[in-house]
């Protein structure tokens, strides 16, 4: 089966390349090879590769910067997604479109269900929600929207790598402790996406993240602890919990964005590991890369 992956050099795009199962012929295009905001280029690429399935891993992911460049965020996350959906329809391909927990406002205190009403707080979340709607409207049952949360990987920029470099250079780090979600290793998400690709009956909205719940503070403490155990850090700075108000940023974030995954677990017949377990696996990999 031929699969076209957009955003091939992002964290998820790279993990999709590394985890592509046997029997799937994946072509992953980076942003310089395919700009999804260019409808003609998207059409040409789809006509050239004739995929049965497209995975859209391309996105504008700079949550705070999006507040000052909304046009760019919407162009990629909404118009770009719609371009891919239209091109998919023209060759009868399915589309697996990746979205985010930031489509929710965080007012719930139990995991968000796939059909809970999205109420995004910032430009990034709003542009991603618009992309979801476009994809589902254009492709109907040929679209799968997979929402995920707090992604990291050994490749690309993310919270784990930022924390590790701060921990190497500082004696004290202050981290927000009143926002809860689930850290997710992009490698595990990529494996779940391949499972979705292999299930033609999968359609509609799915949630996928690692298991468990954490605050950014819990996540930072686990990074320090596991990195210390694995010899990735020589020092262990003090980590202090702070409130959202003490760390002003441009974009408002949901206070709680844990995703309910029961349906996905049943349909895909896979259970995501606890986030700490996957964090350990990612750090093993990081150690290998740094050697
Ligand atoms: N990162 C998270 O914490 C997180 C959380 C929840 C959901 N998600 C979702 O998960 C998906 C994957 O995210 P990620 O963490 O892998 O993001 P990422 O590392 O930022 O990768 C996104 C990729 O999209 C590419 N891209 C940007 N604009 C493009 C365009 N116009 N045409 C084609 N490609 C373009 C980027 O290329 P350049 O680098 O060249 O711009 C980058 O390679 C996204 O849908 C994101 O919204 C992410």
Domains of the chain are 2-153+184-210+258-273 (3.40.50.720)
> Does the pLDDT at position 220 exceed 80?
yes
> Does any ligand 1 atom lie closer than 6 A to the CB of residue 6?
yes
Tell me the average pLDDT across 50-59.
98
How far away, in angstroms, is 94 Cα from ligand 1 center? 20
The ligand 1 atom at the shortest distance from the C-alpha of residue 159 is: 3
> Does any ligand 1 atom lie closer than 6 A to the CB of residue 257?
no
How far away, in angstroms, is 118 Cα from ligand 1 center? 20
Q: What is the DSSP letter of 269?
A: T
Tell me the average pLDDT across 8-19.
98
Give the CA count within 13 Å in the CB-facing half-sphere of 242. Answer: 13
pLDDT of residue 71: 98
> Does the pLDDT at position 179 exceed 80?
yes
Tell me the average pLDDT across 48-67.
98
Please give the Cα distance from 204 to 71 (Å, whole number): 27
> Does any ligand 1 atom lie closer than 6 A to the CB of residue 131?
no
Query: Is 124 among the residues known to form the active site?
Result: yes
Provide the mean pLDDT of the chain. 97
| Residue 200: Cβ-neighbour burial (10 angstroms; 0-12, 13-18, 19+) | exposed
Nearest residue (by CA) to ligand 1, atom 40, is 31
The ligand 1 atom at the shortest distance from the C-alpha of residue 157 is: 19
Please give the Cα distance from 3 to 66 (Å, whole number): 30
> Does the pLDDT at position 291 exceed 80?
no
Coil, helix or strand at residue 105: coil
pTM value?
A: 0.98
pLDDT of residue 19: 98
106-151 residue pLDDT tens: 999 999 999 999 999 999 999 999 999 999 999 999 999 999 999 9
């Amino acid at each position: 089966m031929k699969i076209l992956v957009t955003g091939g050099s992002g964290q998820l795009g790279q993990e999709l390349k590394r985890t592509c199962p046997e029997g799937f012929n994946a072509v992953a295009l980076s942003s310089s090879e395919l700009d999804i905001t260019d409808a003609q280029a998207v059409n040409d690429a789809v006509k050239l590769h004739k995929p049965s399935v497209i995975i859209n891993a391309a996105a504008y992911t700079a949550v705070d910067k999006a507040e000052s460049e909304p046009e760019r965020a919407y162009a990629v996350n909404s118009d770009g997604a719609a371009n891919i959906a239209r091109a998919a329809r023209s060759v009868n391909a399915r589309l697996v479109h990746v979205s985010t927990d930031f489509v929710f406002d965080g007012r719930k205190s139990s995991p968000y269900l796939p059909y809970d009403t999205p109420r995004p707080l910032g430009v990034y979340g709003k542009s991603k929600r618009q992309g979801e709607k476009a994809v589902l409207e254009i492709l109907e049952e040929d679209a799968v929207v997979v929402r995920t949360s707090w992604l990291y990987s050994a490749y690309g920029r993310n919270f784990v790598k930022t924390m590790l470099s701060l921990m190497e250079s500082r004696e004290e780090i202050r981290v927000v402790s009143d926002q809860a979600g689930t850290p997710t290793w992009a490698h595990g998400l990529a494996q779940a996406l391949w499972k979705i690709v292999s299930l033609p009956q999968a359609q509609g909205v799915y949630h996928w993240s690692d298991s468990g719940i954490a605050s950014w503070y819990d996540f930072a403490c686990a990074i320090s602890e596991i990195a210390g155990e694995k010899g990735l850090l020589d020092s262990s700075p003090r980590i202090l919990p702070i409130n959202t108000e003490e760390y002003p940023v441009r974009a408002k974030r949901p206070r709680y964005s844990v995703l309910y995954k029961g349906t996905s677990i049943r349909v895909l017949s896979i259970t995501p590991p606890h986030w700490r377990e996957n964090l350990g696996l990612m750090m093993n990999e990081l150690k290998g890369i740094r050697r």
